[in-house]
A = this chain, B = another copy of it.
Amino acid sequence: MRSIVSFYLLSVWLSFLCVIFVWLWSGTWRGGFAWDGSFLQFNWHPVLMVTSLVVLYGNAIVLYRVPLTWSRWRCKLSHAGLLSVAVVLSVLGVCAAFDFHRGNNIPHLYSLHSWIGISTVVLFTLQWFGGLCAFLLPWTPLAFRVFLKPLHVWMGTAIFILSLIASLSGISEKLLLTLNGRNGSNTEPYTALPAEALFANSLGILVVIFGLVVLRILSNHKWKNPQFENESDRERHPGVVFCCCCPSASRLDLLCLQGCSSAYLGCNEWLFELLLTFYQLESVWPFSSDL
């Protein structure tokens, strides 16, 4: 319990650092912001992409792991809300780059970063739209939600990893294209590692550390909130049995519930008690044996 809170607080702290770093890089070293087709418009691109596809997205996907006392519906709305803001900001971020290209006769989508980046934004938009239709619209059949959920969860993580790859290759590309001793810039070249390069490289490292912390939170199945895991699965296979064992005091408590196919097996007393309360169990079979 304490470790999920520590990891979550670390992810929030890293979120702020990522946004501050990318904002300072574009706003200070790259000359600030505008929306006029110039390089100042391009400066919105890293800020909007890191804020949306890394920070907001990362915070939205760990929301189901955080031990909040929120209801399922409130958690779902916050997840959808954060991702909706992320979709809008990421599309604006893509527009900023495309407008800059158009204004400076630079072709679109030639670099590996742009290929990965545009695939990430398209997949994210599809995932967001699919998620919205499947999990928020009340008339979506429960069976379809149950079918879609594992794919939605896995695609969510895959898109986050793509976002990390796109961000890192993007920061790298921007530094290589601007700190090259050309373009009339009076900055030192990238190879001399001037202060800007050091700062932007650190931003890249921060993004990677934030990404790994988010993936760490997602990978620990003990931190899954059973309240959010099992509710929609209730009607999946009515014949399959829910089984939960609490191995405290060398005793095996068996807890069987009709109408649920999911299973929780672990040593956490707190989760076990929560399951008992959540499913309002009528029958519990405690049995001691000489196993």
Q: Could you jot down 18 A-B contacts, CB within 8 Å?
A: A106-B191, A110-B192, A111-B172, A112-B175, A112-B200, A161-B161, A161-B215, A164-B165, A165-B208, A168-B168, A168-B169, A172-B173, A173-B176, A241-B245, A241-B247, A243-B245, A245-B263, A258-B291
Interface residues of A in 188-228 (CB under 8 A from B): 190-193, 197, 200-201, 204-205, 208, 211-212, 215-216, 219, 221
Contact at A252–B245, with CB atoms within 8 Å? no
Determine how close the nearest CB of chain B comes to the CB of A179; give it in whole angstroms. Answer: 10
- CB-defined interface of A171-192 with B at 8 Å, one 1/0 digit per residue? 1110111000000000000111
Known: A154-B216, A164-B165, A169-B169. 8 other contacts (CB 8 A): A107-B191, A112-B201, A154-B219, A161-B164, A176-B177, A237-B247, A241-B247, A243-B243
Question: In the bound complex, what is the Cα–Cα distance between A205 and B120 (angstroms)?
Answer: 12
Contacts A158-B212, A212-B161; is A172 near B113 (CB within 8 Å)? yes
Which residues of the partner chain B approach A201 to less than 8 Å between Cβ atoms? 111-112, 115
Q: Is A4 an interface residue (CB 8 A)?
A: no
User: Can you name the residue of chain B whose Cβ is closest to the Cβ of A290?
Assistant: B258
Tell me if A267 counts as interface (CB < 8 A to partner B).
Answer: yes
* Contact with A110, one of B116, B191, B263 (Cβ below 8 angstroms): B191
8 A Cβ contacts from A226-254 to B: 237, 239-241, 243, 245, 247, 250, 252, 254
CA distance A26 to B261 in the complex (A): 52
